[in-house]
Amino acid sequence: MERRTFLALLGTTACAELARRVGLQSAPDNPKADITIRISPVEMEVAPRKMIKTTGYNGSAPGPVLRLREGQLVTVDVFNETKIPELVHWHGLFVPSEVGGSEEEGTPMVPPGGVRRYSFVPRPSGTRWYHSHVLEAA
């Protein structure tokens, strides 16, 4: 193998690993994720016969409880089943901005009908919540 070919392969592998570590893969082509979140429209009854439409996670709002271990790498596949770009913000976790769920801080949007894989090491331990940072235009 020529030196240039070797260095090109090495650089490609290093970039792919970096993208995996900060969660910038655009599709889950690796083994199964630890957690799958499906963002979709849901309808909820907030009072007797009072229904509202909102955005939910895995069919509910709020979304299901997620249990993460502090210091242990977690991989999350986020499927966007809405008609607008979406994000998931991991409230109170110290994670890189590329996966933090805030577009203004550098997290890429999950396009409508798209999927994005996030990988991060959750810190600190405690009870946290997750939510969208997207405001749909009226």
3-state secondary structure string, the chain?
CCHHHHHHHHHHHHHHHHHHHHCCECCCCCCCCCEEEEEEEEEEEEECCEEEEEEEECCECCCCCCCCCCCCCEEEEEEECCCCCECCEEECCCCCCCCCCCHHHCCCCECCCCEEEEEECCCCCCCCEEECCCCCCC
What are the residue boundaries of the structural domains of the chain, listed by start? 3-131
What pLDDT does residue 102 have? 85
Domain spanning 3-131: which CATH class is it, in words? mainly beta
Closest CA to 23 of 91, 88, 92: 88
What tens digit of pLDDT does each residue of 50-98 get?
999 999 999 999 999 999 999 999 999 999 999 999 999 999 999 998 9
What tens digit of pLDDT does each residue of 19-56 get?
444 444 444 455 899 999 999 999 999 999 999 999 99
What pLDDT does residue 132 have? 87
What pLDDT does residue 28 have? 47
Give the global pTM: 0.73
